[in-house]
């Protein structure tokens, strides 16, 4: 029986009005409006990144389950622990681990520790990639056995006779699959109408023998689709489906689309709540796709919305060119914006930063202090707390070899025929960000280039430089192949750069980024770095660590490394040149300096190792019994080496002066007990795989569990710190791809706490980095990609109660310094495709802001406006679409 949505609505209003700190006023307003809309149809919750969409969704899940319904939450795999944590904060029983694989799904029936089958659980977390299986005809058969087992059971029940061969098949089934199949069949036969209908459809669509055949389980095969449906039976029917990161994987063949369209049981009473800060990423036409994911599939509704979004986009394009001079364009836009908002408002809820208290406070302060020393002037966006300014790579100032390389890449893209030389095309498209450049340059260096072709000559003079080439013919016996000669000549030019040990460490964009990041790090700032491709990001990480290591040696600071690893030599050599160190590069001298200072560091850690357990015990508070239990387990194993190394890094530079009498530093003064205890708790929290087994160290832990947890933690500590002696380590910067999923939080945890290491940037590659929420880094560095992705990346820093918000509050209270801003620093390689890509992105970003942020005319077009024009802009901004929920009292009165 489906849930009563009027009961759900009533419960949503009660939660919105209940006292407590779990929900803020904006979230309560959203819940009240959600109570009106969710009973009617699906909803897109499109709050800007960092405003707390998850908490609203948790409250909605609570309302549905308390009304007797069931909830499925579809999430990226790495977000499971965040959802579980939010359920706990809400005082609501947390769901179990997320279902990530087929065998985890089957384990609900075969694992004695599993609480109950999935269809008996009120809330189920499902990974977006649950059905991303690779099934081959000759592969293991266990995963494909569930479908024929269910079909055989259903056909035997319907006809009273088992299909021919089914009894033998059933006896030879994997025990886990057999238990699951019988349980799912029994529940479907007596469960919800949706389960009965699907089971009957599976029985009628295929025979048992066809279902048991090894073929047709490939990605688009019929049995593959029916296997998805069989898994859906095991999950049961849901009343509410919450889709986190709903903008991801929009195409029909994606795992998320298959979950929604093939796995989960369909029902007219099922509602979808889609969470995404960027329901549109490229253009207004994507609204229809987002609404379809929210369960809105009525053709009339979709056609109407397609029409109003197209009209809005056209009116906006006209307005951008004529807003100063054309009242008709302004009126056309206002009408289109009103229709746009009216059509989408029933399905879209969005709170953005326009009403955020910190943003409002910032803008008010700017208006009061435009001419005061408190705020430095901006070129155009004087009231914007986000400051976007580029890190330019000027082609005219490059080393001659890199100028040649740029020319060669551009020339190759023109002289190479489409499809015949994909390497040339890829080099042109990715040269600005470094992707593929190393392999491309290596390939160019391996080309057989005619030695008679001078690399500083004119490629159009090839024939003149080689008289024999005039009579050369192509491979088909035709006239001379001038195109092939030009390609060969330009690859020779490119090979000059490829002759270096690793050109990525000298890539102009990477070097420019490293210099800028170093500048922030020198001032004590932290930077969140994004990149699209792994190789350039790895090069940036290695280069930053190498530069910081050499500075540490020059300044006499301790660096936790005893020698330079062979694989890091190129990065260190490049850093040596870029820093302009006076002596010639001498690896032996650097290794000797590292070894000498490492002895000092080891003595410091030795002092910490001797007292570490006592210091932790002294620093723990009575309300941290779980941490005390882990400390007892750590004492039993008595392996403090990696623990001391980790805590020493977290403690940073808080080092006491040596005693005047003994020359020694007292351990308690050098390592404050409470600071050591807090570092211990931080490490355990960061190294635990919270998505699978969250741990609250404020709760008691029994001895056996504490020993198991500590054993696992010690193993992960060793993974994190065992490479320190020889390789460039992560005390300055870390690429999150280098950390396994369970250890990924460890690389970001230290950067949440000041003055913990890494002191410099946390370099990340992910489209949306998951473990780090609200890092205290003020300056993200987005790549030139889709504007929706850039907004997601900026949202890692621009969050409620962020480091930026706290900095603004301090600046306003003290009246000292400048008001801080969130800086966006794209590295733009002029003269390459990278610059064109960024220009296209800026246009799309302006469209996104006009649809979702209320910024109709971009800030860069508002420079030097008259008072009359400012009035026009104010009117246009007020006419922009606004999907914010009204105050909940107003909703209840309405």
Q: Is residue 773 within 8 Å of 82, Cβ to Cβ?
A: yes
- Provide the token pair at 307: 């029409």
Please say whether the beta carbons of 409 and 846 come within 8 A: no
**pLDDT tens-digit profile of 211-240?**
877 667 776 778 888 999 999 999 999 999
What is residue 348's predicted lDDT score, i.e. its pLDDT?
A: 95
Distance CA 510, CA 540 (A): 6
Q: List, in sequence order, every residue forming a beta bridge with 387; answer none if it has no partner.
A: 823
- Flag whether pLDDT at 486 surpasses 80: no
Give yes or no for residue 738 having a pLDDT over 60: no
Give the list of residues 6+ apart from residue 605 with CB closer than 8 angstroms, or none: 644, 645, 648
With cut-offs at 50, 70 and 90, classify the pLDDT of residue 726.
very low
Every domain of the chain and the residues it spans: 5-133+238-283, 142-219, 398-499, 509-525+532-729
Is pLDDT of 746 > 60? no
3-state secondary structure of 743: coil
Measure the CA–CA gap between 782 and 823, rounded to whole angstroms. 10
Tokens standing for 68? 């007797």
| pLDDT, tens digit (0-9, with 9 covering 90-100), for 839-862 | 888 888 888 888 888 889 888 788
Kindly state the average pLDDT of the residues 637-649: 86
The bridge status of strand 240-244 relative to strand 271-275 is parallel
For residue 887, pLDDT beyond 50: yes
Task: Report pLDDT for 405.
Answer: 82
Decide: helix, strand or coil at residue 171: helix
Give me the pLDDT at residue 309, please.
Answer: 93
Which of the pair, 77 or 457, is modelled with greater confidence? 77
289-311 burial code (b ≥16 CB/10 A, e <16): bbbbbbbbeeeebbeebbebbeb
Cα(549)–Cα(758) distance, integer angstroms: 13
Conformation bin of residue 99: beta by default, left when phi > 0, alpha when psi is -120 to 50 = beta
Res. 367: pLDDT tops 80:
no
Please state the φ and ψ torsions of residue 763, each to the nearest 5 degrees: -90, 130
Predicted confidence (pLDDT) at residue 440 exceeds the cutoff of 50? yes
Element (H, E) at 73: strand 71-75
Instruction: State the pLDDT at residue 616.
Output: 93
Q: Is 787 exposed, middle or buried (0-12, 13-18, 19+ CB in 10 A)?
A: buried
pLDDT value for 876: 93
**pLDDT reported for residue 11:** 96
Q: How far apart are CA 264 and CA 229, in angstroms?
A: 7
What is residue 369's predicted lDDT score, i.e. its pLDDT?
65
Measured distance CA(665)–CA(668) in Å, rounded: 9
Identify whether the C-beta of residue 94 lies closer than 8 Å to the C-beta of residue 88: yes
Structure tokens at 286: 């994507």
Band (65; pLDDT cuts 50, 70, 90): very high
Using the structure block, give the residue that is written with the tokens 């979702």.
Answer: 852
Confidence check: pLDDT of 439 > 70: no
CA distance 397 to 163: 78
CA dihedral 106, 110, 113, 116 (to 10 degrees): 60
pLDDT attached to residue 60? 97
- Band (822; pLDDT cuts 50, 70, 90): confident
Q: For position 667, what pLDDT does the model report? A: 52
- Which pLDDT band, with edges at 50, 70 and 90, does 64 fall under? very high
pLDDT of residue 762 exceeding 50, the answer is no
Percent of the chain whose predicted confidence (pLDDT) is above 70: 79
Please report, for residues 359, 384, 709, the alpha-carbon distance to residue 137 in angstroms, rounded to integers and kept in the order given: 58, 58, 41
Average pLDDT over residues 45-67: 93
pLDDT, tens digit, 9 for 90 and up, residues 262-319 = 999 988 789 999 999 888 877 777 898 899 889 888 889 989 999 999 999 999 999 9
pLDDT given at position 655: 42
Q: Is the pLDDT of residue 640 over 60?
A: yes
pLDDT tens profile 84-94: 889 988 888 88
Q: What is the predicted pLDDT for the residue at 370? A: 54
SS3 category, 297:
coil
pLDDT at 435: 66
3-state secondary structure of 274: strand
Q: Which of 108-117, 131-140, 406-415, 621-630 has the lowest mean pLDDT?
A: 131-140
Q: What is the mean pLDDT of residues 68-75?
A: 95
Would you state the torsion angle of the CA atoms of residues 235, 237, 240, 244, taken in this order, to the nearest 10 degrees?
Answer: 30
Instruction: Please check the confidence at residue 164 and state whether its pLDDT lies above 50.
Output: yes
pLDDT for 837: 81
Cβ neighbours around 819 below 10 Å, total: 17
Query: Which residues are CB-contacts of 251 (< 8 A; sequence separation ≥ 6)?
Result: 257
pLDDT at residue 465 greater than cutoff 80: no
Q: CATH for 5-133+238-283, among 3.40.50.10090, 3.60.21.10, 3.40.50.300, 3.40.50.10810?
A: 3.40.50.10810
**Of the candidates 264, 271, 273, 295, which has an alpha carbon nearest to the alpha carbon of residue 118?**
264
For the record, the structure tokens of 153 come out as: 């059971």
Mean pLDDT, rounded, of the chain: 79
User: Any bridge partners for residue 641, and if so which?
Assistant: none
Helical ranges in 523-568 per DSSP H = 534-555
- The tens digit of pLDDT for each residue in 694-715 reads 566 777 888 888 888 888 888 8
CA dist 863 to 319, 327, 377, 390, 870, Å?
Answer: 17, 20, 13, 18, 10
| CB distance 517 to 780 below 8 Å | no
Q: What is the pLDDT of residue 823?
A: 87
Q: Which residue has the tokens 């992705």?
A: 789
Statement: residue 186 has pLDDT above 80? yes
């Amino acid at each position: 029986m489906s849930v009563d949505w009027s009961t759900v609505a009533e419960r949503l209003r009660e939660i919105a009005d209940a006292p407590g700190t779990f929900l803020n006023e904006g979230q309560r307003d959203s819940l009240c409006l959600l109570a009106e809309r969710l009973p009617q149809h699906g909803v897109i919750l499109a709050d800007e990144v960092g405003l707390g969409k998850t908490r609203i969704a948790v409250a909605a899940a609570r309302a549905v389950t308390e009304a007797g319904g069931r909830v499925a939450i579809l999430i990226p795999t790495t977000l499971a622990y965040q959802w579980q944590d939010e359920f706990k904060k809400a005082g609501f029983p947390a769901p179990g681990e997320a279902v990530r694989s087929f065998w985890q799904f089957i384990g609900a029936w075969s694992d004695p520790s599993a609480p109950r089958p999935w269809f008996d659980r009120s809330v189920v977390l499902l990974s977006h990639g649950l059905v991303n299986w690779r099934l081959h005809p000759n592969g293991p058969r266990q995963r494909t056995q569930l479908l024929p087992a269910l079909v055989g059971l259903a056909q035997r029940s319907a006809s009273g006779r088992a299909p021919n061969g089914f009894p033998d098949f059933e006896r030879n089934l994997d025990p886990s699959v057999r238990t699951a199949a019988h349980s799912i069949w029994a529940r479907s036969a007596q469960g919800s109408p949706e389960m009965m209908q699907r089971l009957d459809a599976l029985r009628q669509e295929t025979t048992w023998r066809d279902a048991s055949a090894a073929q047709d389980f490939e990605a688009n095969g019929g049995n593959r689709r029916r296997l998805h449906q069989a898994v859906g039976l095991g999950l049961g029917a849901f009343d509410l489906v919450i889709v986190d990161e709903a903008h991801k994987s929009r195409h029909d063949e994606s795992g998320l689309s298959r979950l929604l369209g093939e796995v989960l049981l369909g029902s007219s009473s099922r509602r979808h709540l889609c969470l995404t800060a960027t329901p549109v990423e490229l253009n207004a036409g994507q609204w229809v796709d987002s609404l379809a994911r929210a369960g809105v599939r009525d053709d009339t509704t979709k056609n109407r919305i397609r029409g109003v979004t197209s009209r809005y986009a056209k009116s906006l394009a006209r307005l951008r060119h004529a807003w100063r001079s054309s009242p008709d364009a302004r009126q056309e836009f206002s009408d289109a914006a009103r229709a746009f908002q009216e059509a989408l408002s029933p399905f879209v809820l969005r709170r953005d930063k326009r009403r955020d208290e910190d943003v409002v406070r910032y803008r008010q302060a700017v208006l009061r202090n435009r001419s005061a020393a408190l705020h430095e002037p901006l070129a155009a966006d004087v009231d914007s707390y986000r400051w976007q300014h580029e890190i330019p790579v000027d082609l005219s100032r490059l080393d001659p070899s890199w100028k040649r390389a740029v020319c060669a890449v551009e020339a190759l893209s023109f002289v190479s025929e489409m499809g015949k030389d994909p390497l040339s095309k890829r080099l042109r498209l990715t040269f600005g960000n470094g992707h593929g450049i190393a392999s491309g340059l290596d390939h160019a260096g391996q080309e057989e280039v005619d030695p008679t072709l001078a690399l500083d000559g004119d490629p159009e003079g090839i024939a003149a430089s080689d008289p024999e080439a005039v009579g050369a013919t192509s491979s088909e016996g035709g006239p001379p192949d001038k195109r092939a000669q030009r390609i060969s000549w330009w690859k020779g030019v490119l090979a000059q750069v490829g002759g270096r040990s690793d050109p990525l460490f000298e890539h102009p964009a990477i070097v420019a980024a490293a210099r800028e990041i170093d500048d922030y790090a020198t001032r004590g700032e932290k930077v969140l770095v994004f990149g699209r491709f792994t190789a350039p990001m790895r090069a940036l990480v290695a280069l930053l660590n190498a530069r910081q290591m050499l500075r540490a040696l020059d300044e006499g600071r301790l660096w936790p490394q005893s020698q330079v690893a062979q694989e890091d030599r190129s990065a260190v050599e490049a850093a040596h040149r870029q820093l302009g160190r006076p002596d010639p590069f001498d690896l032996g001298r650097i290794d000797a300096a590292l070894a000498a200072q490492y002895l000092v560091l080891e003595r410091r850690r030795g002092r910490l190792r001797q007292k570490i357990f006592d210091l932790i015990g002294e620093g723990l508070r009575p309300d941290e019994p779980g941490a005390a239990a882990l400390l007892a387990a750590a004492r039993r194993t008595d392996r403090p080496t990696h623990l001391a190394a980790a805590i020493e890094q977290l403690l940073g530079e808080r080092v006491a002066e040596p005693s005047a009498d003994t020359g020694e530093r007292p351990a308690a003064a050098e390592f404050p007990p409470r600071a050591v205890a807090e570092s211990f708790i931080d490490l355990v929290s960061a190294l635990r795989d919270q998505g699978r087994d969250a741990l609250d160290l404020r709760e008691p832990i029994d001895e056996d569990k504490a020993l198991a947890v500590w054993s696992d933690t010690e193993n992960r500590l060793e993974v994190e710190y065992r490479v320190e002696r020889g390789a460039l380590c992560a005390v300055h910067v870390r690429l999150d791809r280098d950390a396994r999923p369970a250890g990924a939080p460890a690389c970001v945890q230290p950067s949440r706490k000041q003055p913990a290491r890494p002191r410099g940037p946390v370099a990340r590659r992910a489209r949306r980095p998951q473990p780090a929420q609200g890092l205290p880094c003020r300056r993200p560095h987005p790549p030139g990609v889709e504007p929706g992705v850039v907004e997601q990346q900026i949202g890692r820093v621009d969050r409620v109660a962020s480091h930026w918000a706290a900095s603004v509050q301090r600046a306003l209270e003290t009246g000292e310094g400048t008001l801080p801003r969130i800086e966006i620093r794209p590295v733009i390689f002029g003269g390459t495709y990278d610059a064109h890509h960024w220009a296209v992105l800026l246009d799309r970003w302006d469209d996104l802001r006009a649809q979702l942020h209320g910024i109709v005319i971009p800030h860069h077009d508002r420079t030097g406006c008259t008072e009359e024009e400012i009035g026009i802009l104010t009117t246009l901004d007020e006419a922009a679409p606004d999907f914010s929920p009204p105050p909940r009292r107003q909703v209840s009165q309405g």
